[in-house]
Chains A and B, each alone.
Chain A
């Protein structure tokens, strides 16, 4: 049931990508899709009643390994969030440049694109 809510988040972002007409709105929808995928990866790694993968001074390693959630998806999601910020800056720079050239964010009015 939680997985379907997460899928709904991804689909809302996908609808925004398909149906939006403003370039910045498409970028924002892509961000929502990205958030959904991050959430999905963390949901897969979650363990019922799990604790964060940080060893406390009182824990033994074996009891810790039986309790902690999966650290691998967390590390990869951390990487992905930071990369997402860089890619966002690149996309927004393209949008701003298009706005300076054509005076609008609307993709239906930007018709004079040439390769």
Chain B
């Protein structure tokens, strides 16, 4: 089980590397789709079917938006000899951050033993215990989203509305004339 999951994440990383290094923007968008759909399968293995469904839907819309933005435009990157010093500096920078990250992950609990088991008063344990009785929803993710933490969902809707408003304002062809 864990091996399959590790293999899926490894494939995701390979697809992500292809996405980042390919010079053609359209190829890059297509392999981003591979990253998203592989991650959706990984989410299924992590016992999160709700997230997998949402991930697939969002990934499809993401691909439509990105392909609409890149089709018919100049997508091929002209090869210019990059400064070797710059790339080396970037790689060194990433490597340092990676070393710090590995240090952090050694402090993490072992994979497969969730944090909620360490604390007796963790909110997740309460949600699992009392969720059905208090909200009546058999799906705990929905219970948390729409009942226990409904304020978060309201904030999410606000952010989404603001982003949509900004998108419309940026893409609008004509500005309103000032009186």
Contacts and interface: CB of A to CB of B under 8 A. Distances in A.
B113 A48 contact: yes
A70 B116 contact: yes
B170 A52 contact: no
Nearest to B162: A86
A68 to B, nearest CB: 6
A75 interface: yes
Contacts of B131: 71
Interface in B26-73: 28-29, 32, 35-36, 39, 42-43, 46-51, 54-55, 58, 61-62, 65-66, 69-70, 73
Given A46-B47, A61-B132, A19 B152 contact: no
Contacts of A61: 129, 132-133
Contacts of B117: 47
Interface string A80-105: 01111111111011111101000111
Contacts of A56: 138
A14 B169 CA distance: 29
A81 B123 contact: no
Nearest to B44: A52
Interface residues of A, number: 82
Nearest to B116: A70
Contact of B69 (A31, A55, A92): A92
A22 B80 CA distance: 13
B9 A6 contact: yes
Interface string B113-153: 11111000001110111011100001111011100010011
B160 A86 contact: yes
Contacts of A46: 46-47, 111-112, 114
Given A9-B16, A14-B94, A55-B138, A72 B124 contact: yes
Given A43-B46, A89-B167, A31 B32 contact: yes
Nearest to B133: A61
Contact of B54 (A14, A18, A27, A82): A82
Nearest to B73: A99
5 contacts: A13-B16, A31-B32, A68-B47, A72-B127, A79-B152
Q: Enumerate the 8 nearest inter-chain pairs by beta-carbon distance, A residue then B residue, closest first.
A: A48-B112, A86-B163, A53-B140, A16-B20, A71-B140, A75-B144, A65-B128, A55-B138
Interface of A: 1-16, 18-22, 24-25, 27-29, 31-32, 35, 38-39, 42-56, 61-62, 64-65, 68-72, 74-79, 81-90, 92-97, 99, 103-106
